[in-house]
A and B are shown apart, each in its own frame.
Chain A
Amino acid sequence: MTAKYVGQPVKRNEDPRLLTGQALFVDDVHLPDMLHAAFLRSDYAHARILSIDTTAAKEMPGVVAVYTAEDLGDFWQPSPMIVQPPPTLEDIVFNPRPQIPLAKDMVRHIGDPVAVVIAESRYIAEDAAEQIWVDYEPLEVVTDIEKALEPDSPLVYEDLGTNLASHVRQEKGNYAAAAKKADLIIKRRMVIDRGAAAAMENRGIVVDWDAKTQHMTMWNTTQAPIPIRNGLAATLGLSEHQVRVIAPFVGGGFGPKIMLLQPEEVLLPWAAMRLCRPIKWIEDRRENFLGTTQERGQIHAVEAAFSKDGKILGLKDIFLHDTGAYNPYGLTIPLNTQTHSMGVYDVPNFYTEFKVVFTNKMIVTPVRGAGRPQGIFLVERMMDLAAKELGIDPVEIRRRNLIPADAFPVHHSIIGQDFIEAIYDSGNFQPLVEKARLLIGYDKFVTEEQPKLRAAGKHIGIGLAPFVESTGVGPYEGARITVESSGKVNLVTGVGTQGQSHFTSFAQIAAEQLGVAVQDVEVTTGDTDQFHWGTGTFASRGAVVAGNAIFAAAKRVRAKILAKASEVLDAPEEELELKDGAIRIADIPEKSISLGELAMLANPLRGAVEPGTEPGLEATEYFGPKYGTTASGVAAMIVEVDPDTMLIDIKKFVIAHDCGTVINPMVVDGQIHGGVSMGIGHSFYEQLIYDENGQLLNASFMDYLVPRSTDMPPSIEIAHQETKSPLNPMGSKGVGEAGAIPIPAVLAQALENALNIDGLELLEMPLSPGRLFELAQAAKNRD
Chain B
Amino acid sequence: MKLSGEFIFDGNRDEVWELLRDPDELAKALPGTQSLSKVSDNQYTGKMNVRLGPVSGMFSGKITISDEVPPESYTMQVDGRGAPGFVKGTGAIQLMEQPDNKTLMKYSGDVQIGGRLAGVGQRLVESVSKSMVKQGLETLNMALQAKHAPPPSATAPEARSPEPPPAYTPPSEMKFAMGVAKDLTTEFFSSTDRNVWLTVGVVLVSFALGYCFGQKRRGG
Contact = CB atoms under 8 A, between A and B. Distances in A.
Nearest to A121: B218
Interface string A79-123: 000000000000000000000000000000010000000000011
B112 interface: yes
A122 B118 contact: no
B31 interface: no
29 contacts: A43-B85, A43-B86, A43-B114, A44-B86, A110-B119, A122-B218, A123-B218, A126-B216, A126-B218, A130-B214, A130-B220, A138-B88, A284-B217, A286-B215, A286-B217, A289-B119, A693-B112, A693-B114, A695-B114, A695-B118, A696-B118, A697-B118, A697-B119, A697-B122, A698-B122, A698-B123, A699-B120, A703-B120, A703-B122
Interface string B104-128: 0000000011111011101100000
Interface residues of A, number: 25
Nearest to A289: B119
A691 B83 CA distance: 20
Interface of A: 43-45, 110, 122-123, 126-127, 130-131, 138, 284, 286, 289-290, 691, 693, 695-700, 702-703
Contacts of B120: 286, 699-700, 702-703
Contact of B123 (A43, A123, A130, A702): A702
Contacts of A695: 113-115, 118-119
A239 B69 CA distance: 71
Contacts of B119: 110, 286, 289-290, 695-700
On chain B, which size bracket covers the interface?
20 to 34
B219 interface: yes
Contact of A123 (B57, B118, B220): B220
Given A43-B85, A126-B218, 19 more contacts: A43-B86, A43-B114, A43-B116, A45-B114, A122-B218, A123-B219, A126-B216, A130-B214, A286-B120, A693-B114, A695-B118, A696-B118, A696-B119, A697-B118, A698-B123, A699-B120, A700-B120, A703-B120, A703-B122
Contacts of B123: 698, 702-703
Interface string B201-220: 00000000000001111111
A138 to B, nearest CB: 8
A695 B118 CA distance: 7
B116 A127 contact: no
Contact of A126 (B57, B88, B115, B220): B220
A695 B115 CA distance: 7
Contacts of A284: 217
Contacts of A123: 218-220
A123 B216 CA distance: 9
Nearest to B218: A123
Contacts of B216: 126
Contacts of B218: 122-123, 126
A400 B85 CA distance: 56
Contacts of A698: 119, 122-123
B216 to A, nearest CB: 8
A127 B220 contact: yes
Given A123-B218, A126-B218, A286-B215, A110 B115 contact: yes
- Residue with the highest number of chain A CB atoms closer than 10 Å, among B85, B113, B115, B219: B115
B114 A110 contact: yes
Q: Which 9 A-B pairs have the closest CB atoms?
A: A43-B115, A699-B119, A130-B83, A695-B118, A697-B122, A123-B218, A127-B220, A43-B114, A43-B85
Contact of B118 (A127, A130, A691, A702): A691
B89 to A, nearest CB: 12
Contacts of A110: 114-115, 119
Interface string B176-214: 000000000000000000000000000000000000001
A127 B214 CA distance: 11
A216 to B, nearest CB: 28
Contacts of A45: 114
Nearest to B82: A130
- Residue with the highest number of chain B CB atoms closer than 10 Å, among A130, A286, A289, A702: A130
A286 B118 contact: no
Nearest to A43: B115
A697 B118 CA distance: 5
A44 B114 contact: yes
A695 B87 CA distance: 12
- Residue with the highest number of chain A CB atoms closer than 10 Å, among B85, B112, B118: B118
Nearest to A130: B83
Contacts of A702: 120, 123
Contacts of A696: 118-119
Nearest to A285: B217
Contacts of A691: 118
A702 B123 CA distance: 9
A712 to B, nearest CB: 25
Contacts of B112: 693
A127 B220 CA distance: 6
Contacts of A697: 118-119, 122
Nearest to B119: A699
A44 B117 CA distance: 12
Nearest to B88: A138
A138 B85 CA distance: 13
A699 to B, nearest CB: 3
Contacts of B85: 43
A288 to B, nearest CB: 11
A780 B198 CA distance: 35
A174 to B, nearest CB: 48
Nearest to B83: A130
A562 B120 CA distance: 63
Contacts of B219: 123
Contacts of B214: 130
Contacts of A286: 116, 119-120, 215, 217
A284 B113 CA distance: 22
Nearest to A129: B83
A19 to B, nearest CB: 28
B84 to A, nearest CB: 9
A453 to B, nearest CB: 33
Contacts of B220: 123, 126-127, 130
A698 B120 CA distance: 6
Contacts of B116: 43, 286
Contacts of A44: 86, 114
Nearest to A695: B118
A685 to B, nearest CB: 15
B220 to A, nearest CB: 5
A290 B113 CA distance: 16
